[in-house]
Structure formats: C-alpha cells, structure tokens
C-alpha cells in the first residue's frame, strides 16, 4: 500500500492513463498530481482516536501497541528486490517529498505516520515531560533526572518498535524530516547497534539571515549535537546554520534540493485553468508581519465578492495548519459577504492554477516562482522589512523583476483587480529563466537531473550501498 497522501497521487496518475508505479521518471502531463497535506475532518477525528488508543494500549501492553503500529505502516510497493529499504517517518509537507521519491526513485520507501510513533512515546506517563523538556533541540543534551528517566523508557519503546520492524521487513535506514526533534533521539540511540542508519531530509530550510541567526542561537543555547548519519538540505543557504555552530560534521551535510519540486518538471502551462487569486496566509507571528496581515485579508476578502473582481475567479486562502485555518475563519467573520475558499492541501495545484499569489517569508512563496503566477509581497507596516529580515530583498534587481512589492493596501487592491479582470498570459522564456535563477538562490534545483536523484545519491552514500 501507499501512504494516505500517496494514494491520492497514484489514483490521479492512473486516471491520466499513467503507470504511476513505474520507477521511470513521470511523463509530462497537463493535469496535476499533488498530494493533499491534510485529511478531511472526519479522518482527523479518527486519527486522533487511533493515537489515543495506541497510547492507552502501550500503557498496558507495549508489544500490542507496537503491533498495531506495524499494521499501519505503508510498506513500499512495488517492492524492488535488491534495493535498500528506507523507512520514512511521515510528517506534514514531508509527505510530498516521499511521494516524489516513490514515483521517481529506485529504492524501497515505506512510511510510518510520525503521529503513531509519538502516540507510543506519550504512553510514558512517569515522568511526564513539560514543553520545555520536550523543546526542539534541547532534549538530547538535557541531563536532568526527569529527562534521563524519560530517555531510558523512550529507548526501550523505540527498541521494541524497530526490532519488530526488522523481523517483519528489515530496513537499512530511517529517514526523518527534522534533525533535532526529541522523538528522534531514542531511535538514534539504538539504531547504530542494529546496523541501521538514521538520516534526515530536512523540511526546515533557512532562507533569510533572520531565520539562520535565530536557529543558530537556539542550537548554541541548547548545546545540540547531531548524532545521526547524514542531513540532506534543500539548498546551500541552510549550510551556515550547521557549519557555523559545529552541530554536525561537514561531511554529513549534503545539498540535494526538495524532491517535491520535481513534480513541476512534468507540468505545461495551462492558461485556461489559471483562475485562482491566491493568498498564502501569514497570520502567525513567525512570518514577522502580523500587523500587516489583517489589512491584506480585508482587501482580499472584500474583492472576493465584488462583481468586477470575483467573476470567473477563485479566491483561495492557503493555510498551513488546521489551527491557522480556524484563525483565518474567525477573522473572515468580519466580512460576511466574502467568497474566499480556505484550503489546507494541494499547494502545487493551487499555485499552478493561480494568476496571482500573495505572501511573505514562506517557502511556498518561493515555490510559486515555478508557476506562471504574478507574485506579490505586501510591503507596508511590519511587512516592510530589512533585507536581513525578509526572505526576498526589494532592493535586489533580479528580485524586483520577478516579484512585485505592494507598498499599500490600495496598491494591493489595484494588483488583485488587474489580475482578476485580465486574461492570464504565459511567461516568456526570459521571464522563466529569471525566475529559475532567483529560485536557485534559495533551493538546489538542478537542470540535468532531479532532486529525487540527488536525495537517492545521498541515501546510498550514507548506507554504503551500490545502486548499480
């Protein structure tokens, strides 16, 4: 079976008459096969109930809980004899990278929902860790009695899980989406003696000076040291986070790019379907523009129900989490006539079908450079940031040619209105080349191969296997 998210992808590919299970690169298509990030609400409720059941079961019988988790692992299919077996700990957005690894790669990729593993660890009722003790980067170096006691129990549970997996279908490596989550620690503790590599394809990518310095400060304060076997990064701009803090030997760092971007290689411009006006929500404080966002949302919501700007267009607000979606839903109550659609998943499809994309300081906004959409960054109030703070520098000439900076709500309104009332146009070859050049400042995106191939080269090197 494939993962829940991958099922959607494979079904969509088959509906196009494509052999979605082939190990060959996916052929070019005009339709999309992006995976949803989030399950429907009913599935989310069932998922929470399952996690609670695993936690309760593990408190009584850890072996029974582990067997339940094993029954939920989505084993690699089709199985490729003689190729290494990678167990991926699936997380939000990381699932899109796994989908591409499965579609384009040559190795065996099985997936374990990280929430199931977390539910197992939650069965440790004594000691109960508070948020500070579970804080990202801090847990591994914490030697307090409470944390040490927790580590001993976590190691026992992790060992039980991995040994049962090895008896079922042996793996050569575990692949995580983050290199410093506390849940990784017990697995990194036991895997060396079992001959299993622990690797990371980091979904965290530090694309501004602000993000790099903030992460470096956390790593220095925590005393974190990476104990796994290798980290794959989306781009070179993340390297200083590791090299300047000495948390990881340079030989364990590899720049591979993001496999999820490989899906764009198969898409052809489709002007007729570009009907989205898209807002990449930035309601949270981490985007550093919380004062600007309500004004952006107001402008967007009011235009969504205007006769002149709503006709034939979908006003999409792309949210990152269910919590953010609920926050935005509450804010939209101030505009009862709005026609906005709140979305959680299918970022690639949303961007591909967009005429205009609005956002700030998000990797999703950089991904929009692969689309034909006009990209707009609000640039007033606290969104008017220095080049050190901002992901995109408005003083840079290439950036100005690829991105429009709206310096007021009135300017944003004008840009949205023009996009909604004008017929979409394809980008010229020169414009596409400039956008790719800008993207490559932040992401490794090779011309002569795929990011999937780069990740597999990293995996095989770490495992010490020969793929041919």
CA–CA separation, 149 vs 143, rounded Å? 10
Task: Identify whether residues 228 and 114 lie together within a single domain.
Answer: yes
Residue 441 domain flag: no
What pTM does this model have? 0.88
Task: Identify whether residues 182 and 279 lie together within a single domain.
Answer: no
Instruction: Report how far apart, in Å, the C-alpha atoms of 436 and of each of 18, 27, 366, 372 are.
Output: 28, 21, 10, 12
Number of domains in the chain: 2
Task: Identify whether residues 141 and 94 lie together within a single domain.
Answer: yes
pLDDT of the chain along its 468 residues, tens only? 333 444 443 343 333 233 333 333 443 333 333 333 334 445 668 888 999 999 999 999 999 999 999 999 999 999 999 999 999 999 988 999 999 999 999 999 999 999 999 999 999 978 888 888 888 999 999 999 999 999 999 999 999 999 999 999 999 999 999 999 999 999 999 999 999 999 999 999 999 999 999 999 999 999 999 999 999 999 999 999 999 999 999 999 999 999 999 999 988 877 668 999 999 999 977 888 999 999 999 999 999 998 777 778 999 999 998 999 999 999 999 999 999 999 998 899 999 999 999 999 999 999 999 999 999 999 999 999 988 889 999 999 999 999 999 999 999 999 999 999 998 989 999 999 999 999 999 999 999 999 999 999 999 999 996 554
Residue 432 domain flag: no
pLDDT at res. 268: 84
pLDDT at res. 324: 94
Task: Identify whether residues 48 and 90 lie together within a single domain.
Answer: yes
Q: What is the CATH number of the domain that holds 35?
A: 3.40.50
pLDDT at res. 44: 65
Residue 440 domain flag: no
Instruction: Report how far apart, in Å, the C-alpha atoms of 8 and of each of 22, 38, 118, 162, 451 are.
Output: 16, 12, 25, 28, 22
Residue 434 domain flag: no
Residue 177 domain flag: yes
Task: Identify whether residues 301 and 209 lie together within a single domain.
Answer: no
CA–CA separation, 280 vs 361, rounded Å? 10
Range of the domain at 384: 270-426
What's the burial of 268, exposed, middle or buried (CB within 10 Å: 0-12/13-18/19+)?
Answer: exposed
Task: Identify whether residues 88 and 232 lie together within a single domain.
Answer: yes
CA–CA separation, 424 vs 433, rounded Å? 19
Task: Identify whether residues 378 and 241 lie together within a single domain.
Answer: no
Residue 437 domain flag: no
Task: Identify whether residues 256 and 274 lie together within a single domain.
Answer: no
Residue 431 domain flag: no
Write the CB contacts of 119 (distance below 8 Å, at least 6 apart in sequence).
50, 51, 52, 54, 55, 58
Residue 316 domain flag: yes
Residue with tokens 């104990």: 227
Joined together, the tokens standing for residue 272 give 């007729």
pLDDT at res. 7: 43
pLDDT at res. 184: 95
Beta pairing, strands 314-318 & 173-176 = unpaired
pLDDT at res. 43: 62
pLDDT at res. 41: 43
Joined together, the tokens standing for residue 58 give 């593990």
Task: Identify whether residues 207 and 318 lie together within a single domain.
Answer: no
List strands edge to edge, sheet with 173-176.
Answer: 108-113, 85-90, 173-176, 197-201, 230-233, 253-255
Other residues' Cβ atoms within 10 Å of the Cβ of residue 167: 9
Task: Identify whether residues 199 and 318 lie together within a single domain.
Answer: no
């Amino acid at each position: 079976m494939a993962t829940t998210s991958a099922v959607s992808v494979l079904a969509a590919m088959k509906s196009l008459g494509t052999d979605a299970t082939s190990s060959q690169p996916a052929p070019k298509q005009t339709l999309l096969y992006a995976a949803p990030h989030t399950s429907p609400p009913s599935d989310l409720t069932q998922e929470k109930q399952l996690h609670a059941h695993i936690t309760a079961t593990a408190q009584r019988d850890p072996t029974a809980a582990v067997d339940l988790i094993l029954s939920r692992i989505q084993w690699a299919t089709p199985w490729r004899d003689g190729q290494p077996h990678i167990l991926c700990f699936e997380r939000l957005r990381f699932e899109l990278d796994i989908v591409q690894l499965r579609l384009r790669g040559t190795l065996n990729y099985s997936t374990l929902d990280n929430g199931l593993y977390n539910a197992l660890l939650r069965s440790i009722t004594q000691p109960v860790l508070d948020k500070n003790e579970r804080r990202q980067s801090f847990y591994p170096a914490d030697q307090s009695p409470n944390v040490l006691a927790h580590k001993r129990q976590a190691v026992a549970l992790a060992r039980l899980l991995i040994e049962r997996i090895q008896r079922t279908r042996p793996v050569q490596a575990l692949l995580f989406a983050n290199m410093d989550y506390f849940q990784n620690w017990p697995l990194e503790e036991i895997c060396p003696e079992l001959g299993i590599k622990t690797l990371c394809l980091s979904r965290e990518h530090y694309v501004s000076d602000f993000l790099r310095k903030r992460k470096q400060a956390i790593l220095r304060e925590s005393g974190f040291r990476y104990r796994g076997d290798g980290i794959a990064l989306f781009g070179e701009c993340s390297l200083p986070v590791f090299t300047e803090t000495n948390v990881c030997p340079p030989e364990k760092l590899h720049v591979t790019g993001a496999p999820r971007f490989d899906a764009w290689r198969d898409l052809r411009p489709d002007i007729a379907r570009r009907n989205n006006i898209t807002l990449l929500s930035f309601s949270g404080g981490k985007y550093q523009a919380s004062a600007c966002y309500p004004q952006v949302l107001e402008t967007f919501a009011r235009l969504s129900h205007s006769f002149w700007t709503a006709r034939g267009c979908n006003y999409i607000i792309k949210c990152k989490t269910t919590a953010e979606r609920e926050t935005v839903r509450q804010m939209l109550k101030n505009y009862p006539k709005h026609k906005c659609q709140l979305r959680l998943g299918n970022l690639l499809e949303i961007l591909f079908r967009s005429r205009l994309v609005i956002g700030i300081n998000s990797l999703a906004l950089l991904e929009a450079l692969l689309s034909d959409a006009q990209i707009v960054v609000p640039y007033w109030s606290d969104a008017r940031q220095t080049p050190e703070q901002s992901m995109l520098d408005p003083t840079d000439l290439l950036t100005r040619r690829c991105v429009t900076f709206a310096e007021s709500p009135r300017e944003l309104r004008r840009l949205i209105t023009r996009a909604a009332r004008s017929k979409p146009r394809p980008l010229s070859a020169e414009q596409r080349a400039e956008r790719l050049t800008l993207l490559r400042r932040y992401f490794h995106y090779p011309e002569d191969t795929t990011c999937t191939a780069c990740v597999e080269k990293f995996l095989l090197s770490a495992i010490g296997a020969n793929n041919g």
